[in-house]
Amino acid sequence: MEGHPRSIEVSPLQADGALYGFLLSGRWPNDTVEWAKFLVLAVQMAAVPGLLPMSTVFRVREELPDRPHPGAIGLVVAEGQLLGAHPLRPGQFAGTQPPGLVVLHPPASTLASVPEYEVASGCVFLPGLPHLGLDHRAAWVEADVDGTVTHLVSKTGFDPQGDADTAALAMLLAA
């Protein structure tokens, strides 16, 4: 339809029975609200039993593999865990800073804001350059595998240290 932007298509990727990431097709999300919509889908996948064994950080990647799917524009791929035997290191992404990081937590690692729902949770952090007037942006979601969203927040212009997820993701980006 003329005058309407192309849609954003999200395809989950799986490797060895675990959530490996997401292929984005059509176009990139334009703003924090569209990234929050992506995050709702990602968190619903994290809520599928056994698909995400532990809290995992995903990198937003604009580069594509050699033979991409038609219409593909980028990937959001797993980089490692926040905790565990081999956690990601602070500054790991400082050399080639990604346009965003996502952390997904399975239901076993989520303290639900609505206790009667077993939900997964997640956060997308889009770092800015506050000293240049480009604010940090983020969204937080809690959702279950059936599509129920129990918590959704989207913010621009906040201090990443005010939230555990954004603080951890900002620390991973710091040099």
Q: What is the pLDDT of residues 111-145, one digit of tens each?
A: 999 988 999 999 999 987 545 546 788 999 999 99
Q: Which residue has the tokens 């395809």?
A: 11
Do the domain assignments include residue 3? no
Higher-confidence residue of 64 and 29: namely 29
Q: Residue 114: helix, strand or coil by DSSP?
A: coil
pLDDT of residue 2: 46
Q: Which residue has the higher pLDDT, 49 or 63?
A: 49
Q: What confidence score (pLDDT) does residue 40 get?
A: 96
Residue 67, pLDDT > 80, answer no
Inside any domain, residue 105: yes
Residue 1 confidence (pLDDT) above 70: no
Structural domain that includes position 81: 9-173
Question: Beta 56-61 vs 149-156: how paired, if at all?
Answer: unpaired
Task: Specify the pLDDT at position 134.
Answer: 63
State the pLDDT at residue 18: 92
pLDDT at 175 over 60: no
- The answer to which of 27-31, 94-98, 168-172 has the lowest mean pLDDT is 94-98
Mean per-residue pLDDT for 57-70? 83
pLDDT tens track for 48-59: 999 999 999 999
| Number of domains into which the chain is organized | 1
- Please state, for a pLDDT cut of 70, what percent of the chain lies above it: 92
Strands (E) in the chain, as ranges, are: 9-15, 18-25, 56-61, 72-81, 101-105, 120-126, 137-143, 149-156
1 lies in a domain? no
30 occurs within a structural domain: yes
% of the chain surpassing 90 pLDDT:
58
Q: For residues 72 and 85, what is the distance between their CA atoms, to the nearest angstrom?
A: 34
- Round to whole Å and give the CA distance between 99 and 32: 13
